[in-house]
């Protein structure tokens, strides 16, 4: 009989913005001796603690939190960068007997771990400069039309007003000679060397909308306008991801005297609501895991933090059955 070995296991807590992921991840970290690893593409920026609803000091004192506020707003994050950092943090957690808990709503980040990732070559500074220049000169819709002519497969998966992703697609096509869709079809980096147990939250629409509105009001009271003012003082490139975070364009309009604070809140809540619909649709169509992993999807409830008592026992039992019994014979 061979000696028992431990299967490396990680927990995923995923779902749309404002669905209560952070509260659930913290409860699970206390129960399963976990280290919470950020899987939200905006919460990596240290300049946006308020507007991205990063965990507060009390939460960070209750359980280890990693990859929150680690990038300057001037540095564009990427899925490849995040995957490398997340794997490093996961290994460090396992090394000290903790379970990594990946918490966030950026599906492409999470799938880079569960399914692997194709590495796209650096298109070069010239291609980046051209893409940004065109996006500013002719606008995202016109650039999307050009992309459709040369790389229709990639263009078909992009919204015509998504400046950041259209610029990225154009620079990759220009700088590498192949489109993003082509690169993504090539062999790439393997999935993370572990088993995943995933919890995907999917609240009902009206309850989520109320939660978004309430949270944005809290952000304003906590100093979100001042946070955006400090960010604008840096004079950063407006196409950087941090400059396009939810709430930043709307509060920028307030600071420029173009909108009232009430109008900005209404616009931001509507924008975040549309984004959460896209997130929810994505998660419904993309299982976070591979064969042998486990997943539970909780749907049609108001909000985890509000309904935690009725839902936590179900989630805990589901995870306990899979995490507490990880010792097997090799």
Q: Which residues define the annotated binding site?
A: 15-22
Residue 244: DSSP 8-state: G
Q: Which residues are annotated as a binding site for ATP?
A: 15-22
The string of DSSP codes covering 217-238 is HHHHHHTHHHHHHHHHTTT--T
Crossing angle of helices 224-232 and 205-222, rounded to 10°: 70
The string of DSSP codes covering 118-152 is PPPPP--HHHHHHHHHHHHHH-HHHHHHHHHHH-H
| Residue reference for tokens 């946006």 | 48
Long-range contacts of 174-180 (CB under 8 A, 24+ apart): 174/123, 174/127, 174/130, 174/131, 175/121, 175/122, 175/123, 175/124, 175/126, 175/127, 175/128, 176/120, 176/121, 176/123, 179/150, 179/151, 179/153, 179/154, 180/120, 180/151, 180/154
C-alpha closest to that of 69 among 59, 80, 88, 55: 55
The number of CA neighbours under 13 Å toward the Cβ of 24 is: 31
CA distance 219 to 124: 38
Q: Which residues are annotated as a binding site for substrate?
A: 17-22
C-alpha closest to that of 116 among 51, 192, 39: 192
The DSSP bridge partners found for residue 232 are: none
C-alpha closest to that of 200 among 277, 96, 279, 144: 279
- Which element (helix H / strand E) includes 164? helix 163-176
């Amino acid at each position: 009989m061979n000696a028992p070995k431990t299967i490396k296991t990680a927990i995923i807590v995923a779902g749309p913005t404002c669905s209560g992921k952070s509260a659930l991840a913290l409860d699970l970290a206390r129960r399963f001796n976990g280290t919470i690893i950020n899987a939200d593409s905006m919460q990596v920026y240290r300049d946006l603690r308020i507007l991205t609803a990063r965990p507060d000091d009390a939460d960070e004192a209750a359980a280890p939190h990693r990859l929150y506020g680690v990038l300057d707003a001037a540095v564009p994050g990427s899925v490849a960068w995040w995957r490398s950092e997340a794997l490093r943090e996961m290994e460090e957690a396992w090394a000290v007997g903790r379970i990594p808990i990946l918490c966030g709503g950026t599906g492409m980040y999470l799938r880079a771990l569960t399914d692997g990732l194709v590495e796209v070559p650096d298109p070069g500074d010239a291609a980046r400069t051209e893409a940004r220049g065109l996006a500013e000169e002719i606008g995202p819709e016109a650039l999307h039309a050009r992309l459709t002519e040369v790389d229709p497969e990639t263009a078909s998966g992009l919204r015509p007003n998504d400046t950041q992703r259209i610029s990225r697609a154009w620079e990759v096509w220009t700088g590498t000679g192949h489109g993003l869709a082509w690169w993504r079809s090539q062999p790439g980096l393997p999935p993370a060397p572990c088993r995943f147990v995933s919890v995907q939250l999917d609240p009902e629409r009206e309850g989520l909308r109320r939660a978004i509105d309430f949270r944005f009001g809290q952000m304003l009271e906590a100093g979100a306008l001042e946070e955006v003012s400090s960010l604008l003082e840096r004079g950063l490139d407006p196409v950087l991801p941090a400059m396009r975070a939810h709430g930043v364009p709307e509060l920028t309009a307030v600071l420029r005297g173009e909108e009232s604070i009430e109008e900005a809140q209404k616009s931001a809540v509507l924008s975040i609501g549309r984004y959460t619909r896209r997130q929810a649709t994505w998660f419904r169509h993309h299982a976070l895991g591979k064969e042998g992993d486990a997943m539970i999807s909780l749907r049609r409830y108001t909000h985890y933090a509000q309904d935690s008592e009725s839902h936590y026992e179900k989630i805990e039992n589901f995870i306990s059955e899979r995490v507490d019994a990880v010792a097997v014979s090799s």
